[in-house]
Structure 1
Amino acid sequence: MNTYLFYDLETTGLNTAFDQVLQFAAIRTDLALNEIERHEILVKLRPDVIPSPEATITHRISIEQSMQGVCEFEAISQIHRLINQEGTISLGYNSSTFDDEFLRFCFHRNLLPPYSHQYKNACRRVDLLPITIMFFLYKKEVLNWSEIDGKPTMRLEHLNAANQLATGQAHNAMIDVEASLELARQFFLKEPKMWQYLDGFFNKETDMKRINKIPVSFHSIACSNRIALMISNEYGAENQYQVPVLLIGHSIPYKNQSIWLRLDRADLRETTPEKTWIIRKKYGEPNIVLPPEPRYWEYLGEERQAIVEENKDWLQSHTQRFHKIIQYHREFSYPKIPDLDIDAALYQKEFLSGQEQALCRRFHTASQKVEIVNLFQDVEMRQLASRLLCRNYPDNLPTMLTKDFEDYMRRVKGEALRDIKNKKRTTPLDALTEIDKLRIEGTLDSQQLELLDELENYLKQNFPKESKL
């Protein structure tokens, strides 16, 4: 039986590789959105994580409160079971760009399959944000919509306030889950056919069939080129959350990526292939792709429609340039980053062998996990297992495990580790500097000031070298 699992995370920061979950909340429903069960997990702050002050004053989870939670290994194992239950459709608000990737890295560093919830046991994922945008564009009457400075906003807390979806503090994981669920119910109960249609965009086979039905505009060396509209929050209200695109083929190194060229850029004809605006999409995942039917196409406006026609004609008449654009983006592969920390290496590692997967399962069920560590032949897998034990079960571990973790902790205190996107890991000095900045701004309430005081004391006690400003 398929079920929806509405979920939300509150985290120590925005870095998906280096931050951690502090609170997980979820409500499971049937396909008619009737509640079946709910879950809430508070997660203990890890000794190597430097909480972001901005995140701290947003979710308002104190360090004292976090220390009452379960260790990350046990929390993430429970989340993995929930999200991988047979037939689960995991669903969040803007989850495809943050929560889902955050969980993948959590699964990775806790020796759990990071992708199984996407495809295995009839599981898949849905993101409520693009569904909300589609209702805003084409069924606006189903909801009260919020604006900031005269522009519509899709932020969940604003939609919640405008429609009284849930009661309580925003950025509390359970409150946000309740708001997301009630938002989905508004859509489902008022427009059930549209809800089912939009749900289909998050089914790989359905999404692929719909794209293949879009009329072919012309042909090139890579494929039959189809013009379509792509819907995403990243394109902004000024563009009606949509851009015209042209399918130019599929990635050669990444077989699951289709490649789309943005067509409403007046500078397309002057840019080099590597600077053209390309969107990479996997079937069954955002962005939503619509056919260029008049009822959708009219949202572009006459000026953007004219640019599309000019670019379309130019591509067809300058085939050599067009083929260079296609070739560059189809052959493009992400550069390998040297000396990448193992926590951030999820996308750079090869898929685990069957033997390694079996060892990971054995590690999870073993009562004496230390004995399993050295059975991993891969050095990085041994490091992950060793680091996992030091973070979650530090008592009475052998020196061979703790020494490596001590070396890692020295890097955490003094170095700016970077992830695969070159984003910096928060250091103690970064956090202390940000605390001072937030205090100077003077817009904080008493609870937020107390949270910053607690965080500052925690950093100075646990990372003394970095506290010497």
Structure 2
Amino acid sequence: MNNTYLFYDLETTGLNKAFDQVLQFAAIRTDMTFNEIEPHNIMVKLRPDIIPSPKATITHRISIAQTMQGLCEFEAITKIHHLLNKPGTISIGYNTLSYDDEFLRFCFHRNLLSPYTHQYKGNCRRSDLLPITIMYYLYKKEILDNWPEIEGKPTMKLEHISRANKLAEGQAHNAMVDVKATVELARRLYKEPKMWDYLDGYFDKTLDTRRIEEIPVDFHSVACHNRIALMIDNKYGSDNQYQIPVLLIGNSIPYKNQTLWLRLDNPKLREIQLTDVPTKGSSSEEEKEFSKNSWVIRKKYGESGIILPPHERYWSYLSQERLAIVEENKEWLQSHTTLFHKIIQYHREFKYSKIPDLDIEAALYQRGFLSDKEQTLCRQFHTASLPEKMEIVSKFEDVEMRKLANRLLCRNYPDNLPLMLTKDFEDYLRRVNPKNEGDALINHKYEKRTIPVNALTEIAKIRKEDDLDSQQIELLDELENHIKE
């Protein structure tokens, strides 16, 4: 079985991964040296329960009229799931692991598809071109002719890198244009194939695990072997050269695939006292303050960020001031062993709080994996005719799973459905489009679902403050009319 890359990008109705939807999915499958095999461009019909974000609308410029020519969400997402799950597929994009991949995970969940199989089954895995590009910027800058800057600072945004190096023609934030730019960027980086293969290895779970285990132990604590390393990620910013020094403090106990890394250039670390460590009954504000001072990054094996061993050639990017903080923090941790153990214990045992009354569409992580019986029913649902699908809905023993299946039918196949299904969906529509912001549904990160009143307020604000072209004005007019209808 030959591996292939599937480069992909999404344009969506907004940034809420649990509640927004895909409007455009574009992908190009290539061989392992980036020769194109086949392109895919899937447009998705706007769902009846979605209020698109005005900001997203003027960015991707997809009109509501255009979306109405697309596939219904169920059929589009099923096609996308098949593409990502083709045996041997390495799904990759630009910053996809931070956004697109998780967005699709929620899409798969609400359309009764496995959210995780594209990560491991059939020799499939995922990668991300953004951190790979950062590594070339840091250690092989000559690979690109131009590294763009904004106000004297480097930017890693794809649209700027593409424009500076003429990677692709066309409007940025069109999914297919961005995919073409991503493939061309990969081709140029691959001019140094050894470096590419080494960096791609960071997105192989087994190889990434082994590399972490090979980092020398710097010192021992009560809880674990502590290894010092550098973590590379776009979120640390150009001022920090996209990297921070970190100390491995073990693995999470409730989430065993998470490694825990204590940030070592954090001067607030030494301000922590034993009484600051949260215990059962501590307030959320106390927990937030402690988490800010004891800055820990949770990294899964085979995912961002890239972990580099503490070699001199890597550490040379750290300023003398940051290096001094690292040494002071290291000494402080070793001389405050009881407190250090408490810090480790807190982060290793930390578990995300359960959100009460979380809507089923946002409850992917809270509910855990489906039972064998539920998985079987989901597979049957996908192969069944429409009348058979309606019968399968009632076979789900779990009420929340019945809700998912019911909503799926009403969104995608609204004609000639029984009153029992449509009445529930009408009640749901009233609930997701409330008049007051305080009644908006929240997702797993307490982010609010876009509701009509907020979208209309945002449209007015954009019209007043943004410099819009004629197409963007038309898009906002269309969206406003859609919301009012």
Q: TM-score, normalised by structure 1?
A: 0.97
Q: Which runs of 5+ in 2 are unaligned?
A: 278-289
| Ranges in structure 1 where 5+ consecutive residues have no aligned partner | 462-469
* Pairing 1:11-30 to 2, within 5 Å after superposition: 11-30=12-31
Moved more, 270-279 or 131-140: 270-279
1:308 alignment partner in structure 2: 326
Counterpart of 1:396 (choices 416, 420, 423) is 416
> 1:187 is matched with which residue?
189
Residue 459 of structure 2, aligned match among 430, 435, 450? 435
**Cα deviation, residue 399, structure 1:** 1.7
Aligned to 2:175: 173
Following the alignment from structure 1 to structure 2, what is the Cα–Cα distance between the partners of residues 244 and 401?
54
Q: Tell me, what secondary structure is at the counterpart of 1:4?
A: strand
Corresponding residue of 2:284 = none
How many positions carry a matched residue from both structures? 460
In the other structure, the counterpart of 2:149 is: 147
Q: Please give the per-residue CA displacement for 1:43-62, whole angstroms capped at 9, x wherever unaligned.
A: 00000000000000000000
Percent pairwise identity? 72
Pairs within 5 Å for 1:438-457: 438-457=462-481
TM-aligned CA deviation for residue 223 of structure 1: 1.4
The 2-side partners of 1:441 and 1:283 are apart by 43
Bigger mean CA deviation after superposition, 172-181 or 342-351:
342-351
Matches within 5 A, 1:339-358: 339-358=357-376
Counterpart-to-counterpart distance in 2, 1:171 and 1:269: 44
Distance 1:280 1:230 in 2: 11
Kindly report which structure 2 residues correspond to 1:193-204, keeping only aligned pairs within 5 A, or say none: 193-204=194-205
Q: 2: distance between equivalents of 1:442 and 1:227?
A: 46
> Which residue of structure 2 aligns with residue 159 of structure 1?
161
Match of 1:321 in 2: 339
Aligned match for 1:384, one of 383, 401, 404: 404
Q: Secondary structure at the match of 1:430?
A: helix
1:32-111 mapped onto 2 (5 Å cutoff)? 32-111=33-112
Work out which of the residue numbers 431, 449, 452 in structure 2 matches 1:425. 449
Residue by residue, what CA displacement relative to the aligned partner does 1:101-156 show, whole Å, maximum 9, x if unpaired?
00000000000000000011100000100001000000011111000010000000
Secondary structure at the counterpart of residue 426 of structure 1:
coil
Distance 1:357 1:145 in 2: 47
The 3-state SS of whatever aligns with 1:267 is helix
Aligned to 1:242: 243
Per-residue deviation, 1:301: 1.4
The answer to whether residue 478 in structure 2 is matched with residue 460 in structure 1 is no
1:294 to 287, 306, 312: 312
2:301, 2:269 → 1: CA distance? 26
Q: Which one of the candidate residues 348, 361, 381 is aligned to 2:379?
A: 361
The offset of 1:222, in angstroms, is 2.1
How far is 1:407 from its partner? 1.0
**Alpha-carbon shift at residue 350 of structure 1 (Å):** 2.1
Deviation at 1:441, TM superposition (A): 1.4
Alignment root-mean-square deviation, CA = 0.7
Distance in 2 (alpha carbons) for counterparts of 1:443 and 1:365: 49
Aligned mates of 1:352, 1:342 — CA distance in 2 = 13
How far has the Cα of 1:442 moved from its partner?
4.3
Match of 2:280 in 1: none
1: CA distance, partners of 2:445 / 2:328:
35
Measured in 1, the distance between the counterparts of 2:61 and 2:223 equals 51
Matched, 1:374 2:394: yes
CA distance in 2, matches of 1:365, 1:51: 31
3-state DSSP of counterpart to 2:164: helix
**Which moves more between the two structures, 433-442 or 44-53?**
433-442
Looking at structure 1, the residues matched to 35 and 364 of structure 2 have their Cα atoms a distance apart, in angstroms, of: 36
C-alpha distance after superposition, 1:259-301 (max 9, x if no partner)? 0100001110113443210000111011100001000011011
Q: Distance in 1 between matches of 2:392 and 2:239?
A: 55
1:104-119 aligned at under 5 Å gives the runs 104-119=105-120
**Corresponding position of 2:282:** none
- Write out per-residue CA displacement over residues 5-26 of structure 1, whole angstroms, 9 at most, x where no aligned residue: 0000000000000100000000
1:2 is the counterpart of 2:3: yes
Match for residue 132 of structure 1? 133
Cα displacement (A) at 1:246: 0.2
Amino acid at match of 2:170: G
Q: Partners in 1 of 2:368 and 2:236 — Cα distance?
A: 33
The aligned residue for residue 279 of structure 1 is 297
Question: In 2, distance between residues paired with 1:331 and 1:7?
Answer: 36
Letter in 2 for 1:268: L
- Bigger Cα displacement from structure 2, 101-110 vs 216-225: 216-225
- One-letter amino acid matched to 1:307: I
Q: Name the residue aligned to 1:405.
A: 425
Distance in 2 between residues matched to 1:324 and 1:340, nearest whole Å: 32
Q: Distance in 2 between matches of 1:448 and 1:350?
A: 41
Give SS of 1:438's match.
Answer: helix
Q: In the alignment, what sits opposite 2:234? A: 233
1:152 is aligned with what amino acid?
A: P
Letter in 1 for 2:418: P
**Which amino acid is the alignment partner of residue 38 of structure 1?**
P
Query: Alpha-carbon deviation of 1:221?
Result: 2.0
SS in structure 2 of the partner of residue 340 of structure 1: coil
Partner of 1:259: 260
> Normalising by structure 2, what TM-score?
0.94
